[in-house]
Amino acid sequence: MPKPTTIHFEISERKVLLRIFDVLLVLSSLYLVSELFDLEYFNISEEHWVWSIVLCVYLLVFSTIFELYNLQKASNLQKTVKNIFAAVSLTVLLYLFTPFYTPKLPSNRLQILVFFGIITFTLFIWRLAYIKLISAPRFFKRILVVGDSFDIELIAEALQKSDPNYQVIGYVNTDINNDEQSEFKNLVQIDVNVIDDAIKQYHINEIVVASSYTEGVMLPLYNKLITLLEDGFPIREYTQVYEEVTHRIPVQHIDKDFYKFFPFSRSNQNKFYLFYHRLFDVLVSVLGILLSTILLPFILIGNLVANRGPLFYIQERIGKNGKPFKIMKLRTMVVDAEVSGAQWAKKNDTRTTPFGKFLRRSRIDEIPQFYNIILGHMSIIGPRPERPMFVKELSSIIPFYETRHVVKPGLTGWAQVNTSYGSSYADSLEKLQYDLYYIKHRSVYLDISIVLKTLSTIIFYRGQ
């Protein structure tokens, strides 16, 4: 029986590893320095245990916002260094401004700089070690795909794009209509009879079955997979792996069996969750409207000078259960943007005014939607509401598109923080995959993740 010969970490394991070592190493470094050099500002003791808890919470929150736990960016040293500096700066700044739960300011203000330097240096050394060791090819997860030849490249690209440490090595072709050898870049085609040898030769960690033909997994291959499974070798179904790695639902591969794979989240019917969700919607919306009054004079001047036209625009969108409602936004396009009819919004859309581009990228144009949220048309978090004509068009060509309407549309959402504007069928399909993942896994934890990712979008000026 071939056993996996390399060590690898799952996505969740690497994210947990990063968080645990961020906290442990920072606290250890601060403890060591306070013991050796009598750091007056911060010390770890039973008497002041709250100081450490607050520091860890701030560090984890800002590290999440600045994408230190985004595995693609965590593998890039240049981006990691920039994000460490930003995360530590805000962590220390907020730590200084909460004196009831953190140490009083030291008489020697230089110690604050030392405090900042210790945290920054510790995280830099640890993340450098992570990039050089754990993100190295020796820890890649190497998989063999069992599937139809015309799907292999798409499968490999989707998995490796979402997780740089997830490497598709080769495949077993199950397309009974195409027995010819197919060649794909950097992928090895493996015959059923030599799977055992291939696992040893290429150090395969896992087999992923992705055949869309029920008869595709022929008897010899089926028997071989059963033997491997009985011997303890990990074999998984593609849609499960795809969902885990990409955090999307692969509706294009599930087809008519979709509802077998898509149990709706219990949170959709949980009264406590729905109450919390509505309370969160109202509180954030009221706060957002109050804070927006500070920006109102600048918005009015910008619209008067650079937009020259109505400040708001109102448009019909589709809400929960397919019911239409009127959405309100700050106008970001020229007055006659759709004189020729409805059009998809695009990246670098020429109809967008210079001031409108600023409003979009900073997400300020979304502020009036707090009014829609208070009225109950929308939620803070949910699928983006789409226009009726586009819903009708997309529903006719994308399977299960209407499913996104089982929850309220949102100001932000899982699709919004993971993709850009949808300007094509492919973009809409990708956004739907994210929306369905949210509906399936809807929870307080996922909501918090979306809020933090939204803050990252605003901070990094990525709105579109």
CATH number of the domain to which 175 belongs: 3.40.50.1380
User: Do 162 and 187 fall within a single domain?
Assistant: yes
Q: Is 256 inside a domain boundary?
A: no
Are 135 and 128 within 8 A, CB to CB? no
Mean pLDDT calculated for residue range 108-128: 90
Q: Is 184 inside a domain boundary?
A: yes
**Backbone phi, psi, residue 91, to 5°:** -60, -50
What whole-number distance in Å separates Cα of residue 67 and Cα of residue 90? Answer: 14
User: Do 213 and 318 fall within a single domain?
Assistant: no
What whole-number distance in Å separates Cα of residue 212 and Cα of residue 250? Answer: 12
User: Do 418 and 314 fall within a single domain?
Assistant: yes
pLDDT given for residue 306 in this prediction: 81
When pLDDT is cut at 50, 70 and 90, the band that residue 56 belongs to is very high
Mean pLDDT calculated for residue range 138-155: 76
Give the end-to-end CA distance of the chain in Å, rounded to a whole number.
Answer: 52
Residue 390 CA: distances (Å) to CA of 69, 73, 398, 432: 35, 34, 11, 13
User: Do 240 and 295 fall within a single domain?
Assistant: no
User: Do 293 and 331 fall within a single domain?
Assistant: yes
pLDDT given for residue 430 in this prediction: 87
User: Do 62 and 190 fall within a single domain?
Assistant: no
pLDDT more than 90, % of the chain: 25
Q: Which residues are 143's β-sheet partners?
A: 168, 206
Enclosing domain of residue 399 = 266-459
Mean pLDDT calculated for residue range 54-66: 92
Please report where in the chains the tokens 């706060």 appear, as a residue.
287
Domain end among 87, 107, 134? 134
What is the CB neighbour count within 10 angstroms for residue 158?
A: 21
Q: Is 225 inside a domain boundary?
A: yes
What whole-number distance in Å separates Cα of residue 126 and Cα of residue 389? Answer: 51
Q: Which range in 56-70, 125-139, 422-436, 449-463 is most confidently predicted, on average pLDDT?
A: 56-70
Q: Is 464 inside a domain boundary?
A: no
User: Do 339 and 371 fall within a single domain?
Assistant: yes
User: Do 340 and 291 fall within a single domain?
Assistant: yes
Q: Is 432 inside a domain boundary?
A: yes
pLDDT given for residue 2 in this prediction: 54
pLDDT given for residue 187 in this prediction: 82
Residue with the larger pLDDT of the pair 131 and 269: 131
Q: Is 405 inside a domain boundary?
A: yes
Is the per-residue pLDDT at 350 higher than 90? Answer: no
Q: Mean pLDDT lowest for which of 215-224, 319-328, 448-457? A: 215-224
pLDDT given for residue 414 in this prediction: 93
Total domains present in the chain:
3
User: Do 86 and 206 fall within a single domain?
Assistant: no
Mean pLDDT calculated for residue range 48-77: 88
What whole-number distance in Å separates Cα of residue 123 and Cα of residue 81? Answer: 9
Q: Is 1 inside a domain boundary?
A: no
**Backbone phi, psi, residue 189, to 5°:** -85, 130
Q: Which amino acid is at 356?
A: G
Q: Is 152 inside a domain boundary?
A: yes
User: Do 406 and 383 fall within a single domain?
Assistant: yes
Mean pLDDT calculated for residue range 300-321: 88
Contacts of the segment 37-44: beta carbons below 8 A, 24+ positions apart = 39/111, 39/114, 39/115, 40/106, 40/107, 40/108, 40/111, 41/103, 41/105, 41/106, 41/111, 41/112, 41/114, 41/115, 42/103, 42/115
User: Do 291 and 381 fall within a single domain?
Assistant: yes
Q: The dihedral of CA 147, 153, 158, 161: what is its sign?
A: positive
* Cβ burial 277-299 (10 Å sphere, 16+ → b, else e): beebbeebbeebeeeeeeeeeeb
Query: pLDDT digits over 387-415, tens only?
Result: 998 898 888 888 788 888 989 999 999 99
User: Do 230 and 314 fall within a single domain?
Assistant: no
Domain end among 134, 166, 181? 134
pLDDT given for residue 379 in this prediction: 95
In 3-state terms, what secondary structure has residue 400? coil
What whole-number distance in Å separates Cα of residue 372 and Cα of residue 326? Answer: 8
Structure tokens belonging to residue 402: 């209407």
Is the per-residue pLDDT at 331 higher than 90? Answer: no
Domain end among 134, 161, 184? 134
